[in-house]
C-alpha cells in the first residue's frame, strides 16, 4: 500500500518541523486524545462493572477461583479489539496500557466518590484490583513480535499470569486470620461482615467454598492457568472483531460539498 499524491504531500508537510500543518495535526492529536480517554474510561469501566462487578468492588469477593479466573478474561477483550486499530492503523502499541490506565482512573473515581463518600463504605473494603502489569505485557509482546499468533499466546496469557502476582502484594494483609465470635475468618471476611451491605446477604458471595488452608497458593495457580488459556483464545477472537469493525468501511462525507469539494463527494460515492 502506498500513498496517493495528495497524501504524500500532506505527509511531507506534517513532517516539516514547525510548519502550520504540523501544528494543526498536533492540535487534532490533543483533541482526539482528550475525547478518546473519556470514551475509553466510560466504555471499559462500564464493561468491567457489568461483568466482573462485585468481584472487583469488594475485598471479600476477591477469592482464588472466580476473581482470579474471570477478571483477566474480561479484561482482555476490549484492549484486544483496540489493539488492531491502534497498531495496524497508527503503529501504536499502547492499547492495553491506555485501557488499563483509563480503567484505573474510572475505578478510583467511582470507589472514592460513590462507594466511599456517598455510601460510606471504607476504602479498605472497596479498593480496585491492579490490572496494569498484565495489559502492559500484552502491549510489549505485540510491539516486539507484531504477530497475531505470538501475541495471542504470550500476550493474552500474560494478562492472566500477571494478575494474581500483581494483586497479592495488596491483598495479602487482608487474608491474615482473625478470631471473631469464636470463629476463624480472614480480615477480608470480617470487613465484609462488619460494614453492612444492606441488600447483599452473605450467601450471595460467589466465592470458592472451601476449608481452612495454611498456604494460599495452590488454588490460585490452577485458576490462573485456566484463565490464561481462555485469554489466548479471547485475544485472538477479539483482535479479529477489532479488525472487522475497523475495516467495515466509511460513509462518504457529504459535508464536503458545502466547503467546495463536490467533486470529491461524487468520487467517494462511487
Partner 1 sequence: MNVTTVFKKTVLMLMLLIVSTVIYAHGERNQEPFLRMKTLQWYDVKWSVKNEATIKVNDELILEGKVHFFSRWPQVINKPDTIFLANATPGPVFIREESYMNEVPMIQSTGVEVGEVYDFRVKLKARIPGRHHVHPMINVESAGGLVGPGIWVNVEGDADDFVYSVETRTGQTIENLGTYATGNVYKWHAIWAAIAAFWLIWWIRRPLLIQRYLLVKDGQWGKLITLTDKKMGATLMVVIIGLLIYANSITREAYEYTIPLQGGRAVVDVVPNSDKGLITVKNKRAEYYLPGRTVTIDAEITNNHNLPIRIGEFTSANLRFINKALPYAVAGLDEGYPEELVAGASLGIDDDTSIMPGETKRVLIDATDVAWEIERLSSLLNDPDSSYGGLLFFYDSNGKRIIKEVYGQILPTFKK
Residues 50-89 that bind partner 1 (CB under 8 A): 60, 62-64, 88-89
**Contact with partner 1 (CB under 8 A): which of 196, 247, 253, 262?**
196
| Alpha carbon separation from 9 to 212, 215, 220, 265 (Å, rounded) | 69, 64, 56, 21
In 3-state terms, what secondary structure has residue 248?
coil
Choices 49-57, 178-186, 243-251, 253-261; region in contact with partner 1 by CB under 8 A: 178-186
C-alpha 107/C-alpha 40 separation (Å) is 12
Note whether 201 binds partner 1 by CB under 8 A: yes
**Minimum CB separation from partner 1 for residue 160, in Å?**
13
CB 54 within 8 A of CB 201: no
Place of cell 469488594: 58
Q: Is 251 in the site for partner 1 (CB under 8 A)?
A: no
- Residues constituting the chain: 270
Within residues 101-160, the interface with partner 1 by CB under 8 A covers 101, 104, 108, 119-125, 127-128, 130, 132-133, 136-137, 139-141, 143-144
247: three-class secondary structure by DSSP: coil
Residues 16-55 that bind partner 1 (CB under 8 A): 22, 25-26, 28-29, 32-33
Nearest approach, Cβ of residue 88 and partner 1 (Å): 7
Choice from 41, 71, 80, 93 touching partner 1 (CB under 8 A): 93
Site residue total, partner 1 (CB under 8 A): 99
Measured distance CA(226)–CA(73) in Å, rounded:
10
CA distance 250 to 121: 47
Amino acid at each position: 500500500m502506498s500513498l496517493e499524491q495528495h497524501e504524500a504531500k500532506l505527509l511531507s508537510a506534517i513532517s516539516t518541523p514547525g510548519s502550520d500543518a504540523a501544528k494543526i495535526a498536533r492540535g487534532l492529536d490533543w483533541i482526539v486524545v482528550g475525547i478518546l480517554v473519556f470514551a475509553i474510561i466510560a466504555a471499559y469501566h462500564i464493561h468491567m462493572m457489568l461483568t466482573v462487578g462485585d468481584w472487583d468492588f469488594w475485598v471479600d469477593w476477591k477469592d482464588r477461583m472466580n476473581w482470579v479466573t474471570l477478571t483477566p478474561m474480561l479484561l482482555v477483550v476490549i484492549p484486544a479489539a483496540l489493539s488492531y486499530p491502534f497498531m495496524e492503523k497508527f503503529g501504536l502499541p499502547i492499547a492495553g496500557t491506555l485501557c488499563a490506565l483509563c480503567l484505573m482512573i474510572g475505578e478510583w473515581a467511582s470507589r472514592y466518590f460513590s462507594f466511599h463518600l456517598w455510601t460510606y463504605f471504607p476504602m479498605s473494603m472497596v479498593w480496585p484490583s491492579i490490572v496494569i502489569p498484565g495489559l502492559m505485557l500484552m502491549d510489549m509482546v505485540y510491539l516486539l513480535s507484531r504477530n497475531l499468533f505470538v501475541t495471542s499466546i504470550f500476550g493474552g496469557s500474560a494478562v492472566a499470569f500477571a494478575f494474581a502476582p500483581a494483586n497479592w502484594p495488596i491483598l495479602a494483609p487482608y487474608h491474615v486470620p482473625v478470631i471473631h465470635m469464636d470463629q476463624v475468618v480472614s480480615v477480608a471476611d470480617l470487613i465484609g461482615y462488619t460494614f453492612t451491605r444492606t441488600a447483599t446477604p452473605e450467601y450471595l458471595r460467589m466465592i470458592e467454598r472451601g476449608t481452612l488452608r495454611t498456604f494460599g497458593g495452590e488454588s490460585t495457580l490452577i485458576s490462573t492457568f485456566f484463565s490464561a488459556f481462555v485469554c489466548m483464545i479471547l485475544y485472538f477472537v477479539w483482535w479479529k472483531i477489532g479488525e472487522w469493525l475497523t475495516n467495515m468501511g466509511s460513509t462518504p462525507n457529504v459535508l464536503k460539498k458545502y466547503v467546495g469539494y463536490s467533486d470529491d463527494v461524487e468520487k467517494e460515492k462511487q
